[in-house]
Amino acid sequence: MAPLAPLSEEPISEEDSKKSLSKRSHSFSSWMRSHLPLLFNKKSDLRILLSVIGCPLSPVPVLPMQFKNVASSAQYIIQQFRATTGCAKIEGSVKSMYAAGRVGLVMRAEAGRGRGRGGAPETHGGCFVLWQMAPGMWLVELAVAGHQVVAGSDGTVPWRRTPWLGAHAARGGVRPLRRALQGLDPVTIAAVFSPAEHVGEKQIGEDHCFILKLEVDASILSSLSDGTAEIIKHGMVGYFSQKSGLLVQLEDSQLTRIQSPGAQATYWETTISSTVEDYRQVDGVMIAHAGRSTVSLIRFGIGLKVSRVVTQMEETWAIDDVVFNVPGLSPECFLPPEEVQRSRFYETAFNQNIQ
């Protein structure tokens, strides 16, 4: 069997998938070079939506809680969030979590190509389930309009499986699922933002919010890049209500530079902004039960026919059920598919993890 290449977290079109299943080798750079025009093919909308919004990862890994200066404003904001959500009630006592919910996905608009799509946008409804053991082990299954996307992490390598691409490992090491950071897992949210910097305040709806910003370390950016695709920056911003202490908005953005030999460089920017709402208590812990994400995909660079191509997507979600300490859940439940385990990429990461 040919070596299984790591998969970048970028949109994949329907036409692209037919070729990729036979080659079993995918990268952001090769997709950009050959198939970017297919991004604007109407038939590809649902698969693009699922590729971009379905199961994105956090841009940063979970690090041990960092309290370098307990008097800093950033640490005060995190401590307020922990107190409000009740993190201390489940730390050490909760070993696993299950959540189930509903989603709605839609491609909203396209700009920069001289004309927009005709007709009203089509909404695709679906549902998802999420299992998690500590932030390093998680598994999510998302079903929308007859398509199923599965992603997971066994504590060694995150991976994703779609009907049109099969299963592939992801670059960048173990990171939490972004969906868990949308108010669903307050313990992981606090851990992820513990090294953040307080950079100001902003009004979000009726909430006056503190802004905490995270920038991805250069070494992590390097692990996300390959020969022709360079991740220039990737960061995350959290907006925490000054009144309630809760996370009310989450934003992250990634800028990638693509340059093949002998070709002009192009740039691809992905920005996701999520509002987090409807906090309710589950076993004494505040969990967000609804929200909305908007995504902007922007392509620009010298030599393109248009200066900027912008596509906007949207996801709404609602949580129906959350359960802590799921009976029978074990580390074996999070093992990746066999084709991922047999890949050289997985073997290398596994060996590094046990050393």
More confident residue, 1 or 44: 44
Rounded Cα distance between 272 and 315, Å, is 10
> Token digits for 210?
């503190």
User: Is 253's pLDDT higher than 60?
Assistant: yes
Q: Among residues 85, 5, 159, which one has the least CA distance to residue 322?
A: 85
- Range with the lowest mean pLDDT among 30-39, 96-105, 217-226? 30-39
User: Is 235's pLDDT higher than 80?
Assistant: yes
Helices (H), the chain: 14-23, 28-35, 45-49, 73-85, 178-181, 186-193, 218-224, 338-341, 344-354
> What's the mean per-residue pLDDT of the chain?
80
Is the pTM for the entire model greater than 0.85? no
More confident residue, 315 or 219: 315
| Arithmetic mean of pLDDT, 272-284 | 96
| Arithmetic mean of pLDDT, 325-346 | 87
User: Is 149's pLDDT higher than 80?
Assistant: yes
Rounded Cα distance between 283 and 123, Å, is 34
The pLDDT of residue 349 is: 67
Rounded Cα distance between 77 and 70, Å, is 10
- Residue partners of 273: CB distance under 8 A and separation at least 6: 249, 250, 251, 293, 294, 295
Strands 123-133 vs 158-162: parallel, antiparallel or unpaired: unpaired
The pLDDT of residue 257 is: 87
Q: Cα angle at 100 between 98 and 104, to 5 degrees?
A: 150
Percentage of residues in the chain with pLDDT exceeding 90?
A: 43
The pLDDT of residue 350 is: 64
Rounded Cα distance between 270 and 228, Å, is 18
Domain boundaries, the chain: 14-354
User: Is 105's pLDDT higher than 60?
Assistant: yes
Per the CB < 8 A criterion, the answer to whether 51 and 162 are in contact is: yes
| Arithmetic mean of pLDDT, 93-109 | 90
Which pLDDT band, with edges at 50, 70 and 90, does 239 fall under?
A: very high
The pLDDT of residue 307 is: 62
Q: Among residues 326, 251, 323, 236, which one has the least CA distance to residue 291?
A: 251
Q: In Å, what is the CA distance from 310 to each residue of 210, 264, 277, 302?
A: 29, 20, 27, 16
The pLDDT of residue 70 is: 53
User: Is 27's pLDDT higher than 50?
Assistant: no
